[in-house]
């Protein structure tokens, strides 16, 4: 801090992380406006997919009485949700790298 005030734990941690990244050769490249827009669009798309899947899951769960079937529905829901999150994160990483 240039004003001479004490550093917070957050500031100290961020300095350490920036130094660690610099030592590892990782450059901090700011995102362009187009990348920010693409990331926001990807987040919105996958968030809507997750919300849609959640609504469908809740609807199916309400109609199901069999405990074994419920376990299967829960497993399917969590698998689909994890896939959407993974796809979203992969797409965001590709956008950050400038690959799409």
Distances (CA, A) of 3 to 6, 7, 33, 59: 9, 10, 31, 57
- What tens digit of pLDDT does each residue of 32-88 get? 999 999 999 999 999 999 999 999 999 999 999 999 999 999 999 999 999 999 999
| 52 in any annotated domain | yes
Residue 20 lies in a domain: no
Tell me, yes or no, whether 23 lies in a domain: no
Q: CB of 10 within 8 A of CB of 56?
A: no
Domain of 50, in residue numbers: 31-97
Count of domains for the chain: 1
User: pTM of the entire structure?
Assistant: 0.71
């Amino acid at each position: 801090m240039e004003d001479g005030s004490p550093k917070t734990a957050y500031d100290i941690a961020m300095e350490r992380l920036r130094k660690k990244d610099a030592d590892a050769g990782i450059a901090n490249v700011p995102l362009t406006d187009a990348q920010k827009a693409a990331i926001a669009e990807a987040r919105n798309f996958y968030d809507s997919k997750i919300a849609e899947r959640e609504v469908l899951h809740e609807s199916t769960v309400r109609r199901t009485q069999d405990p074994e079937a419920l376990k299967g529905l829960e497993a399917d829901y969590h698998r689909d949700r994890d896939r959407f999150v993974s796809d979203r994160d992969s797409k965001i990483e590709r956008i950050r790298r400038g690959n799409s």
